[in-house]
Structure 1
């Protein structure tokens, strides 16, 4: 037991430091360096360790890793934007099309509702969000930029990739190597504004 605590004391990467360092880093801030498939698999394995009520493991991930697949996703989203948005902007369409190719990888975050409905849907959403947070924290440790985007266009993903009955896309997780240092933290309200002690 003493050896275990000695090892932990020597480990300078503390989870509390990673939590405070975590940031949303957008694709425009990524370099063009690729991310190895093995690294993506490591992130997904971290996600897979999230807590889940009744072990439903509701998270589903669609990984767009190759440049060709990311470009195809961007083209699909751009066309969907053009076909479904009333207040159309050519600039916005181009931005939507280009965003996936600015990233080294895009992971569609999906939730699979339990067919037996053993737990309420909000718990499945919460479990999936915790899975994403696991990836986000590991990205921070690995000095990768990432962020979770939830555009309205995500509702059409089932027209681009096959999805199971009861499966729903709740966002896209963009990843890339950083061009520069992590951005500074934004100033949060005091913790006391959000906590009541009894």
Structure 2
């Protein structure tokens, strides 16, 4: 596949369309290596990743749900239906990668630039997965800020979501795109 085909074939493959088949560690390392080559201003390299598979993923699912239940019981607004769905997705997918942004300690650039750099790292992982015939999905539930302690994040780190990846069990059709000409203004 050439780069145009890879970009156009990239999909957000919902977790239910990922097979419960083990993913080789070499593939995960390839994703991470390509993520590490994302562009970023001032070479801050703000991306950090926590990899969950097997038992660690099951423990994470239980811990996340327990944390959200406890927070909900204290009166915080947590959609427990979404929390249940997230837990079930964690249990279903073969690999869950916590995507974390670590802020440059000197704050030499605006935070949005570091979030953008992490997003580009995720795009590199996504395009790599597509090129290798794997499916991927970036989950960004609204309760992410409540999970920092569960993941052991330190001050200056922010959880930006979970990148689910696995073998494709069922193709997910492209939603397509509108004509680019409608989105461009030549000056």
Q: Tell me which residue corresponds to 2:68.
A: 81
Distance change >3 Å, CA 143–CA 123, structure 1 → 2: same
- Determine which of 29, 35, 40 is the counterpart of 1:52: 40
1:43 aligns with 2:45: no
Q: Tell me which residue corresponds to 1:9.
A: none
Quote the Cα distance in structure 2 between the aligned partners of 1:32 and 1:154.
24
1:131 aligns with 2:121: yes
Dislocated runs of 4+, deviation >6 Å: none
TM-score (norm 2): 0.91
Q: Tell me which residue corresponds to 2:175.
A: 186
Q: Tell me which residue corresponds to 1:119.
A: 109
Q: 1:96-111 to 2 correspondence within 5 Å?
A: 96-111=86-101
Q: What is the CA-CA distance between 1:123 and the residue it aligns to?
A: 0.6
C-alpha distance after superposition, 1:93-117 (max 9, x if no partner): 4322221121111001111111111
TM-score (norm 1): 0.86
Quote the Cα distance in structure 2 between the aligned partners of 1:140 and 1:129.
16
Unpaired stretches in structure 2, ≥5 consecutive residues: none
- Determine which of 37, 52, 58 is the counterpart of 1:71: 58
Q: Tell me which residue corresponds to 1:28.
A: 16
Unpaired stretches in structure 1, ≥5 consecutive residues: 1-12
Larger radius of gyration: 1
